Structure 1
């Protein structure tokens, strides 16, 4: 299960996943553009005309050309062979992609995988009587305001019903935990 069944949570998950994909694609494009600009700067006779890079504003375009001019200075200082300069261009492009994308993935991926594991475990637990009791206990240890938001009964009544193993209260609490995770209660 990759996405919640609750529409609100599913939309947030889809928007988050889409944002991660867009972020990754933008940095991939930036890395390719940087690689091409550095490679262009390594040419023995760089063109004298200033080409406009599509989809970038004039300010970013100027900044990237400044980077290319810095590459020109490196190329002038480089030996006649272009292999070291090509390796530098490749390393710069890889670093430009991996640093921002890696930082985002380090923050986003563990949370996304944790929800997936929790949702799968909750669905499995919901299928058994003992599992529903465990889900009910898990719901009870949530903050009281969160518990009150999902249930009509007061927290004291819910705790008492859980202690007495009232099947209706156990089911209600288990459903609260399932809804918190965005899973449809059975």
Structure 2
């Protein structure tokens, strides 16, 4: 499986596109981490409320224990302290709940900040790259014999831009119809060049159609 083109300019574009996607991912991961940390700052009041509630609950528990030691009226004296301790425990739980909510919000925001922009770009980049890999792999499989080169040549005739076809040596179309191997190879190289590939045994400029050997004219 081929991942990059043989032609330097096409390969450079692919490498830059891949690097751009990776850089985009890193950028949004960094942004998500910053936002996650900033949102977690909002949990500080909840933490303070939790600490205050725990401190009051401990104090009320100690006071209730001391009041219970008073003869005769110990139970009556300790009851208000017990009630205050339970209320303080509820305040502490509310502080913990607030921290949990802020933590969940920070995590959700961080995930969204990564998934949405990165997913948007990958949904456009990945099909483009996969399509090129599939087509490049097909060209590689079809470059091994004359019969397959005929298919590549036929595709070039059907789909290549007219300026690219006009740049071929004069008489290429007629020679291709006559089965001239040089014309077939020139057109096949044109189709391979569309993907930035070169046919086996071709020189550095093969695949552009500009330097193909002029085909011999047949009947």
- Which TM bucket (shorter chain)? 0.7 to 0.9
Q: Distance in 2 between matches of 1:90 and 1:169?
A: 61
Q: Once the 2 structures are TM-superposed, how far is the Cα of residue 45 of structure 1 from its aligned partner?
A: 7.6
The answer to whether residue 119 in structure 2 is matched with residue 102 in structure 1 is yes
Q: Distance in 2 between matches of 1:184 and 1:143?
A: 18
The answer to whether residue 177 in structure 2 is matched with residue 176 in structure 1 is no
The one of 102, 115, 127 aligned to 2:144: 127
Q: Distance in 2 between matches of 1:158 and 1:111?
A: 31
Aligned length: 150
Q: Once the 2 structures are TM-superposed, how far is the Cα of residue 163 of structure 1 from its aligned partner?
A: 1.7
Which 5+ residue runs of structure 1 have no aligned equivalent?
Answer: 47-78
Larger radius of gyration: 2
SS for the counterpart of 1:44 is helix
The answer to whether residue 174 in structure 2 is matched with residue 160 in structure 1 is yes
Q: Distance in 2 between matches of 1:148 and 1:179?
A: 15
The answer to whether residue 41 in structure 2 is matched with residue 23 in structure 1 is no
RMSD between aligned residues: 1.6
Q: Once the 2 structures are TM-superposed, how far is the Cα of residue 16 of structure 1 from its aligned partner?
A: 0.8
The answer to whether residue 93 in structure 2 is matched with residue 93 in structure 1 is no
The one of 134, 137, 140 aligned to 1:117: 134
Q: Is the 8 A contact 2:150 2:188 kept in 1?
A: yes
Q: Is the 8 A contact 2:42 2:102 kept in 1?
A: no
Which 5+ residue runs of structure 2 have no aligned equivalent?
Answer: 48-93, 201-219
Q: Distance in 2 between matches of 1:90 and 1:103?
A: 20
Q: Distance in 1 between matches of 2:122 and 2:154?
A: 32
Output the TM-score relative to the length of structure 2. Answer: 0.65
Q: Relative CO higher for 1 or 2, CA cutoff 8 Å, sep ≥ 6?
A: 1
Output the TM-score relative to the length of structure 1. Answer: 0.75
